[in-house]
Amino acid sequence: MSEQPLLLEAHEVAKHFGGVKALQDVSLTIRRGEIYGLIGPNGAGKTTFFNCLTGLYKNESGHFVFDGVRLEADAPHKAAAVGIARTFQNIRLFGNMTAIENVMVGRHLRTRAGVLGAITRNAATRAEEAAITRRAEELLHYVGIHERAHDYAKHLSYGDQRRLEIARALATEPKLLALDEPAAGMNGTETEALRVLVEGICRDGVTVLLIEHDVKLVMGLCRRVAVFDYGEKICEDVPAVVQKDPRVIEAYLGGSVA
């Protein structure tokens, strides 16, 4: 296994909510091209980690290095600009916009035309808008919901909404795609389709950070897995080792008497 360069390094990231230590000096590294799993019981700090990474929360101490550059993610759009995109545990689409418009918003970052272009309708603006539409169509096709392109996001089925969130995130051309419980509420068939989709995304060169409760999915997809419990990283290894780690078993099954 050739060692790929590091894409994301978290250095002792800590976040408190009042007296609650949501994250305690969490350090981890993610390599380019891998699918990295993040698991742990509810409230372990997984989503808090995502929120710090994407600039929604400000961590009290510690920092992230992304692609060799220290991340100053004081505003979420800057995290997006350096190449971090995410989806949400509870789906957050722009419900009153169509599926394709949702994806086009994701293209915002990678396009230029301003108000002046919109008014003058110059050739560059028209070409750019055509390119945005074409790319959005491709992405809908990629996640398999192109037939619903012109339906309002709020009218899509649950599984399709999850796919649309992924398409919208991919539209920002991320280097790292962070998926927050993408399989939540999915049945077996949908989860299998999701597994194929995530594998494809990784094969196409996007590194994936996956929070998931579906242990089977995580163990099947991820090259390495970190386990969080009470805001601490208690274990990080390949899936086969993690599954047998006594600390992990204790975190999931409660204090053992052994």
52 binds another protein (CB under 8 A): no
Our finding on whether 108 is near another protein (CB under 8 A) is yes
The dihedral sign for the CA sequence 130, 136, 139, 144? negative
Largest interatomic CA distance in the chain = 74
Q: Does 76 contact another protein by CB under 8 A?
A: yes
Is residue 81 within the footprint of another protein (CB under 8 A)?
Answer: yes
DSSP-based three-state secondary structure for 8:
strand
Q: How far is the CB of 1 from another protein (least distance, A)?
A: 32
Query: Residue 173's closest CA among 142, 130, 129, 218?
Result: 142
Measured torsion, CA atoms of residues 143, 148, 149, 150, in degrees rounded to the nearest 10:
-160
Does 47 interact with another protein (rule: CB under 8 A)? no
Name the residue nearer to another protein (CB basis): 201 or 225: 201
Q: Are the CB atoms for 208 and 1 separated by under 8 Å?
A: no
Binding pattern to another protein, positions 179-218, x when CB under 8 A?
----------------------------------------
The DSSP 8-state label assigned to residue 98 in this structure reads B
Q: Interaction with another protein in 119-148: which residues (CB under 8 A)? A: 119, 128-129, 132
Distance of CA 126 to the CA centre of its chain: 31
Contact with another protein (CB under 8 A) among 6, 65, 105, 193? 105
CB of 3 to another protein, least distance (A): 30
Among 6, 65, 113, 234, binds another protein (CB under 8 A): 113
The 8 Å CB, 24+ separation contacts for 147-150 are 148/99, 149/98, 149/99, 149/100, 150/98, 150/99, 150/100
Among 6, 14, 56, 184, binds another protein (CB under 8 A): 56
Short-list 22, 14, 147, 249, CA closest to 163: 147
87 versus 191: smaller Cβ distance to another protein: 87
Question: Which residues sit at the interface with another protein, rule CB under 8 A?
Answer: 54-56, 75-77, 79-81, 85-86, 88, 92-97, 101-102, 104-106, 108-111, 113-115, 118-119, 128-129, 132, 168-169, 171-172
